[in-house]
Amino acid sequence: MWLYCHFPQLLLDSLLRAQPEFEKQAVALYQVQNGQSLIEQSNQVAQQAGVSQGIASVMAIALCEDLKLKEYSAAKEERLLCGVADHLYQWAAKLVLEPPQGLYIELDSLEKLYGGLSSTAKTLHLAVKQLNVRSQLAVANNALAAKVLAEAYAPLTMKDEKAGHQLKDLSIKSSGLPDKVVRNSLSAGIFSIGDLLDIPGSDIGRQLGKEALFYIQELKGELKTQRVSDFYQPSERFFQHVDLVSEVSNWQGLRFPMKRLLNELESFLYQRQKVVQHIKFQLYQRDKSCSEIRVATASPSWRAQSFWSLLQLKMEQAPLSAPVLEVSLQASDFSSLSVKTSHFFHDAKDTQGLFPLIGKLQVKLGESAVYTPAVSDDPRPGINEYKQPPCRFGGFSVKPVKRPLWLNHPEPVNLDEWSLSDGPERKRCGWWDSQLIERDYWIATDSKHRIGWLFYESGQWYLQGWFS
């Protein structure tokens, strides 16, 4: 058994989701065919004004003067279909794309998992509804039949016999056959798919050609098809693109589409149990330029909010250089989730604590201005300390040894003013680079109860640092 999901206006739905303020306005997508501009998709407001698929754009504007037109792109719609497949992959692994507006889902392997065919179809239907796009689903015993039923908007049924009757009752115009075959069928008195199924195969091949014959054989399940042989494999790289109905000249107008992209990234990472530290937005502008906005968190994360808070700071720093027509988000170099990085199965969020603060400081001050202190294997104080980028997972790399918070150049002191408490810690090293030291280090307290780090060398006491 196969389920076919048909998304008749996936690109338009995506546009309106990015800018919901246009849902109450007439919006349509056009496509140039044979030198003529024709309407490809239209929203409900436009349809109520008479703007339907196939009419000329000139006629559409005449019917609806305030109609907003945008060019249709099959490539963009196919890219959106991949995003749909990524979403549904959480519930079904055997997916086959039918670009640019549909996909097949094999059901037999899912029945045990979801408790029968009806429960499986219900689960997948709810998963599709989460996408918030127009859709039509159909179930049949072969993939082609499910596709034809879905594209004809036949009511969803789990009963094979009822689905068969629905299929036979459909007009030959809803078959998906080429226009020439449909015209020849009508001329021959074949008005429904049922009429076509009643004709012997030899007669179909002779009257309508091999294409119609193969179609009927596939519809009956007699012909092994390559239609559903290539199962979808989710990409290991995230890339999502959003077209805008109308250009946007300020950050306020981009907040919704950019947040939507971050939510899609969160879902992508959640499915794969991955985290990422660096993401990149691209703004495609009216003057044909492309601006990049890179956002990096102090610690790899999977939550949209972690990146959103930093993105808002980026927005505050500079206005848009030109109106924006499209927005994309891409991410790669994922890391596997570890227990220390996040909380997939708890209510705790990574929006509090040290790492978000570090991320905000990096945005405001620059990544190179924020660092973590670390120590090398060199035992010499003042030489073994260095800076490194803020830690990612396991906390700071400073070892829990008794070392001062502030390290100074050695200053001579009078030991009579100090009380030694912890030591000596003998250091005799540095012969390898001609910077030999021979010192005994002590922790000591002065008359003002301040804790210092003292050492004795060549008959003199020195202060090298202060403890907090």
Q: What CA–CA distance (Å, rounded) separates 137 from 147?
A: 9
What is the tens place of the pLDDT at every residue in 151-208? Answer: 999 988 888 889 889 999 999 999 989 989 999 999 989 999 999 988 887 788 888 8
What is the tens place of the pLDDT at every residue in 303-320? Answer: 999 899 899 888 888 888
> Among the three residues 365, 390, 418, which one is the final residue of a domain in this structure?
365
- Reply yes or no on whether the pLDDT at 438 is more than 90: no
Q: What CA–CA distance (Å, rounded) separates 274 from 279?
A: 14
* Residue span of the structural domain in which 313 resides: 238-365
Task: State residue 392's pLDDT score.
Answer: 45
Q: Is the peptide bond before 424 cis (omega within 30 degrees of 0)?
A: yes
Pair of tokens at residue 7: 């998304």
Q: What are phi and psi of 151, to 5 degrees?
A: -70, -20
Return the CATH number at 157.
3.40.1170.60
What one-letter code names the amino acid at 119? S
Q: What CA–CA distance (Å, rounded) separates 140 from 147?
A: 9
Calculate mean pLDDT across residues 367-392: 64
Task: State residue 37's pLDDT score.
Answer: 96
Task: State residue 153's pLDDT score.
Answer: 93
Task: State residue 377's pLDDT score.
Answer: 55
Q: Are 455 and 441 in contact (CB under 8 A)?
A: yes
> Among the three residues 127, 147, 170, which one is the final residue of a domain in this structure?
170
Q: Are 319 and 303 in contact (CB under 8 A)?
A: no
Mean residue pLDDT of the chain comes to 86
213 domain residue, yes or no = no
414 domain residue, yes or no = yes
SS3 254: helix
Calculate mean pLDDT across residues 410-435: 86
Task: State residue 299's pLDDT score.
Answer: 82
Calculate mean pLDDT across residues 312-337: 89
Number of independent structural domains in the chain: 3
Residue 339 CB contacts under 8 Å (≥ 6 apart), including other chains? none
Pair of tokens at residue 12: 């338009």
Same domain, 359 and 410: no
Task: State residue 353's pLDDT score.
Answer: 57
Least confidently predicted of 219-233, 349-363, 448-462: 349-363
pTM: 0.71
95 domain residue, yes or no = yes
Question: Element (H or E) spanning 411, and its range?
Answer: strand 406-412
Same domain, 156 and 46: yes
Same domain, 27 and 119: yes
Q: What CA–CA distance (Å, rounded) separates 60 from 328?
A: 30
> Among the three residues 148, 170, 192, which one is the final residue of a domain in this structure?
170
Same domain, 302 and 436: no
Q: What CA–CA distance (Å, rounded) separates 144 from 185?
A: 19
Same domain, 27 and 103: yes
Q: How far is CA 78 from CA 7, 114, 128, 166, 232, in A?
A: 11, 29, 17, 29, 13
More confident residue, 385 or 316: 316
Same domain, 59 and 149: yes
179 domain residue, yes or no = no
Which residues on neighbouring strands pair with residue 420, listed in sequence order? Answer: 444
Q: What CA–CA distance (Å, rounded) separates 46 from 336?
A: 46
Same domain, 12 and 147: yes
Return the CATH number at 289.
3.30.1490.100
% pLDDT > 70, the chain: 86
138 domain residue, yes or no = yes
87 domain residue, yes or no = yes
- Reply yes or no on whether the pLDDT at 344 is more than 90: no
Max mean pLDDT range (22-26, 381-385, 429-433):
22-26
- Reply yes or no on whether the pLDDT at 4 is more than 80: yes
Q: Are 183 and 204 in contact (CB under 8 A)?
A: no
Residue 373 CB contacts under 8 Å (≥ 6 apart), including other chains? 385, 386, 387, 388, 396, 398
Calculate mean pLDDT across residues 343-358: 53
Same domain, 156 and 68: yes
% pLDDT > 90, the chain: 54
Calculate mean pLDDT across residues 15-36: 92
Same domain, 14 and 159: yes
199 domain residue, yes or no = no
372 domain residue, yes or no = no
Rg for the chain, CA atoms, rounded: 33
Same domain, 359 and 448: no
Calculate mean pLDDT across residues 24-44: 94
